[in-house]
Amino acid sequence: MNTLSYLTVDVFTSTRFEGNPLAVISDARGLSDAAMQKIATEFNYSEVTFVLPPEDPRNSARVRIFTPTMEIPFAGHPNVGTAYVLGQQAELFGRPVGEKLRFEEKAGIVEVDLKRSGGNVAAAAIRAPQPLTVGDTIAEETVGRCISLDPGVIVTTTHAPVFASVGLNFAVAELKGLESLAAARPNLAGFQAAAGRQTTSGHDFSLFVYARSADNPWNIRARMFAPLDNVPEDPATGSASAALGAYLVSLAPDADMDVRITIEQGVEMGRRSIIALDVVKSGGIVADVVISGRCVSVMRGEIILQD
Q: How far is CA 189 from CA 12, 18, 192, 227, in A?
A: 31, 29, 5, 10
Give me the pLDDT at residue 119, please. Answer: 83
Q: What's the rounded mean pLDDT across residues 12-31?
A: 97
Give me the pLDDT at residue 196, please. Answer: 82
Give me the pLDDT at residue 204, please. Answer: 81
Choosing among 3.10.310.10, 3.40.50.1000, 3.30.930.10, 1.10.600.10, the CATH entry for 131-291 is 3.10.310.10
Give me the pLDDT at residue 118, please. Answer: 86
47 tagged catalytic: yes
Where would I find the H helices in 152-280?
Answer: 177-183, 188-197, 238-251
Choosing among 3.90.950.10, 3.40.1260.10, 3.10.310.10, 2.60.40.10, the CATH entry for 1-124+293-302 is 3.10.310.10
Q: Does residue 277 have a pLDDT over 70?
A: yes
Q: What's the rounded mean pLDDT across residues 152-171?
A: 97
Give me the pLDDT at residue 207, please. Answer: 98
Supply the pTM of this predicted model: 0.95
223-228 own/partner pairs: CB under 8 Å, 24+ apart: 223/181, 223/184, 223/265, 223/268, 224/170, 224/265, 225/146, 225/147, 225/184, 225/186, 225/191, 226/46, 226/67, 227/186, 227/188, 227/191, 228/69, 228/188, 228/191, 228/192, 228/195, 228/204
Q: Is 220 helix (H, G, I), strand (E, B) or coil?
A: strand
Give me the pLDDT at residue 201, please. Answer: 53
Give me the pLDDT at residue 112, please. Answer: 97
Indicate the angle between helix axes 238-251 and 76-87, nearest 10 degrees.
Answer: 120
Question: Where exactly are the structural domains of the chain?
Answer: 1-124+293-302, 131-291
Give me the pLDDT at residue 202, please. Answer: 57
Give me the pLDDT at residue 115, please. Answer: 94
Among candidate residues 18, 42, 47, 233, the one labeled active-site is 47
Q: In this structure, what DSSP letter does residue 175 have?
A: E
Q: What's the rounded mean pLDDT across residues 46-50?
A: 98
Q: Does residue 58 have a pLDDT over 70?
A: yes
Query: Are 1-124+293-302 and 131-291 equal in CATH topology?
Result: yes
Q: What's the rounded mean pLDDT across residues 250-263?
A: 98
